[in-house]
Amino acid sequence: MEQGKTATTIGRFAPSPTGPLHLGSLVAALGSYVMARRTGGLWLLRIEDLDTPRVVPGMADDILRTLEILGFRWDGEILRQSRRTAVYQEALERLLREGAAYPCGCSRAEIARAASAPHPGEEGPAYPGLCRNGIPEGKTARSIRVHAGSEPIEFFDGIMGPQRTDLSHAGGDFVIKRADGPFAYQLAVVVDDALSGVTQIVRGADLLPSTPRQIRLQRLLGYPTPAYWHLPLVTGPEGAKLSKRHNAVSLASGRDLEREGHLILYNALVFLGQKPPKGLRDSSCAEVLAWAAAHFSPLSIPRIPGPFPSPAVT
């Protein structure tokens, strides 16, 4: 970050190195980048490698190199979640001390069998509160859950509009430290965004259901709530979400990004509802990104998912 520079907006892109960058994650990278840069803000990069069993060796470096070839430039140091367990532990202990979180000894199977949990949540059946007042005799702590609270979470999404979720009915008390050891995604991203000063989160609409849980944690921890913008998902021909394997935009997948990268960026802008001039198709990646930062219209972003402009490269 440049000394003396004041940023009104701090955005971020946070890929998981569980596979190569794909069209959906490229759209998220581009959307978050131009939304920060259009106001002269900063764009941070974070590698979400906390779920180590799912991390594919070499993928983090491949993602970074792919972003560089496509012209993306980030501010400050790259954060890697696998190196930040101490800050997550500190937040966890604070929630436990303040009574906002508690140990849970329930397995997924037990929760699924509970007659009082008929409604499925984002991560499976809604938690029926079996350990909320203490772990029953004969059980041992498996995970840590946070109280969902009784007040609905309301927020405005810059693309999807007003949102309202009653967490007590939409999954109930949720896990912030998993039974198999790692800290949960919800806690890690909230801590990282707050400590990095992130003011704007632009990401795929598949993460929209996670936002109320993250806002709940922000409020419990006394963190500010960033502005949220959830981009439409890239879908396949029949409307299904694209798989990483078949839609990679990566050196590891054999793409010649030196030749076709600017065209992929151009088509990603079209997917986001923008109208780049046709002459930009003959420009460099840096020129496409510069045009986008100067002309991007957030109001033109569609709400509904759709296919990536075809052909993806011509």
Q: Give the whole-angstrom CA distance, residue 93 versus residue 104.
A: 15
* DSSP per residue, 216-265: HHHHHHTPPPPEEEEEPPEE-TTSPBPPTTTSB-STTTT--HHHHHHHHH
By DSSP bridging, strand 10-13 and strand 42-47 are: parallel
Burial 281-306 (b: 16+ CB within 10 A, else e): eebebeebbbbbbeebebeebeeebe
- Please enumerate in sequence order all residues whose Cβ is within 8 A of that of 168, keeping only pairs 6 or more positions apart, or say none: 148, 149, 150
Q: Which residues are catalytic?
A: 244
Least Cα distance to 249 among 238, 260, 235, 240 occurs for 260
- CB 60 within 8 Å of CB 28: no
Let me know the angle formed at the C-alpha of 102 by 97 and 104, rounded to the nearest 5 degrees: 155
Residues 248, 253, 259, 265, Cα dihedral to 10°: 10
The amino acid at 201: I
